[in-house]
Structure 1
Amino acid sequence: MTDPSAASADPSARDVELDTAALRVLAHPLRLHVLSLLRERGPSTAGRIAGELGIHPGAASYHLRRLAAGGLIVEEAGRGTGRERWWRSAHRQSIHDPATASGAEREAGLGYTHAVALAAADRVRRSARELPRMPREWADVVTYGDFLLRLTPADVDRMRAEIFEVIERYRAGGGSEGAVPVTLQVQAFPVPGTARPPAGDT
């Protein structure tokens, strides 16, 4: 996918293709939540992140250091005093394409994919808990869709590309007045137990 803002002067406006080391760093749902918070709400500290996620500040600091070691976040220059360090995301979005991965990267990608699935499920649960308190205009448009389709791998690949084109169009359009960060989860996978390798294949 081509990112039209990749040439922006702001490094956080670019996407990053995850390498093996970054995939291993992100193979933890809590770390994905921390990174998402920085991307959605801007720079923050371990204390603020701990309060938002309901974790100990020491745990937040540990996960921030791991993300920084993986090149996924950077310290916000000129901000903070003494022991208070501010962090920001180094990129707009992380990208991992299992189809192009091989060897160690493919293995690391499995852990990352598992963490993404757990983090996505947690976001849906948190959103559903907040739904009764949302303003009516938001509650009326929130959707939790689940559709059963009969598709080939080629069909899924084509549909995925079409969905990503629509997402990119809305992302490139910027936000209108009153816009807030919206999470759009797109998941497409064979119903568990239905797509098995032929007998003899491993």
Structure 2
Amino acid sequence: MSEPTVQVTDVRALRALAHPLRNRLLGLLRLDGPSTATLLGARVGESSGSTSYHLRQLAAYGFVEEVAGEGTGRWWQARHRQSSWTSAAMRDQEDGAQVDEEMMRLAVGFQGRVLEAWQDGRAGLDPAWSSGSTVNDYALRLRPEQAQELLAELDAVLQRWMAAHPSDEPADGTETVAVLLDLLPLRQWPT
């Protein structure tokens, strides 16, 4: 991967990313490294023609790129380890509110699936991971500028760890670790 993070500022790029299949393909490339449309298609239950088209769409917006690979076929890799956007930047653009909503729903659904996959597989993890994994929630009373400060601090910590531990350089004893970061104003806690 050429860069750790991309800040998506164009609503057209976010729309490309908000497509469920494209989002899945990008996630697989980020976690598992370079692949072909055929191999990815087999993983997600789609034809190689469909996955090839969606990979080209992701490439058009700079999310993936072609790389040299083994054997025949076009190999693709993710260009970034993480994509982020701000709702404010999207809402200022035509169709931005709708695209922001689509992407947010996709992201929230994905986080739910990540947590379920972890829950389903945690019994098979090395016992050492029991003290290295957590699901926590914290309730704070903050003003918007305080929430922004907290978010910036958390992001800085994660960026530092991402730089020190590239996901495309696996080492013995390591696992891919998901960090799901949600900082949300809630007027009423769900019951």
What's the TM-score, normalizing by structure 2? 0.79
More strand by share: 2
What secondary structure sits across from 1:23 in the alignment? Answer: helix
- Please name the residue that 1:12 is paired with: 2
Compared with structure 1, are the counterparts of its residues 35 and 147 closer, same or farther at alpha carbon in structure 2 (3 Å cutoff)? same
- Please name the residue that 2:182 is paired with: 187
Q: How many residues align?
A: 181
Work out the CA distance in 1 between the residues paired with 2:125 and 2:75. 30
Q: Deviations over 1:36-73 (max 9, x none)?
A: 211122101233324444x2334534432332333311
| Contact in 2 for aligned 1:32/1:119 (Cα 8 Å) | no
| Contact in 2 for aligned 1:32/1:116 (Cα 8 Å) | no
Work out the CA distance in 2 between the residues paired with 1:78 and 1:88. 10
Q: Which moved more, 1:95-104 or 1:33-42?
A: 95-104
* Stretches of structure 1 lacking an aligned partner (at least 5 in a row): 1-10, 195-202
What secondary structure sits across from 1:110 in the alignment? Answer: helix
Q: Deviations over 1:143-194 (max 9, x none)?
A: 1222233222222112111111211222232367533321101001122668
- What amino acid is the match of 1:136? P
| Contact in 1 for aligned 2:11/2:93 (Cα 8 Å) | no
Work out the CA distance in 2 between the residues paired with 1:62 and 1:28. 12
Shift of 1:35: 0.7
RMSD over aligned CA atoms reads 2.6
Identity %: 32
| Contact in 2 for aligned 1:14/1:91 (Cα 8 Å) | yes
| Contact in 2 for aligned 1:39/1:89 (Cα 8 Å) | yes
What secondary structure sits across from 1:15 in the alignment? Answer: strand
- Please name the residue that 1:8 is paired with: none
Shift of 1:134: 1.4
Work out the CA distance in 2 between the residues paired with 1:49 and 1:139. 32
Q: Deviations over 1:72-126 (max 9, x none)?
A: 1122235441xx3321112332221223341227323232222211222211111
What's the TM-score, normalizing by structure 1? 0.75
| Contact in 2 for aligned 1:12/1:90 (Cα 8 Å) | yes
Compared with structure 1, are the counterparts of its residues 159 and 49 closer, same or farther at alpha carbon in structure 2 (3 Å cutoff)? same
Compared with structure 1, are the counterparts of its residues 168 and 189 closer, same or farther at alpha carbon in structure 2 (3 Å cutoff)? same
Q: 2:87 aligns with which of 77, 93, 98?
A: 98
Q: 1:147 aligns with which of 108, 126, 138?
A: 138
Runs (4+) of structure 1 moved beyond 6 Å? none
| Contact in 2 for aligned 1:27/1:115 (Cα 8 Å) | yes
What secondary structure sits across from 2:139 in the alignment? Answer: coil
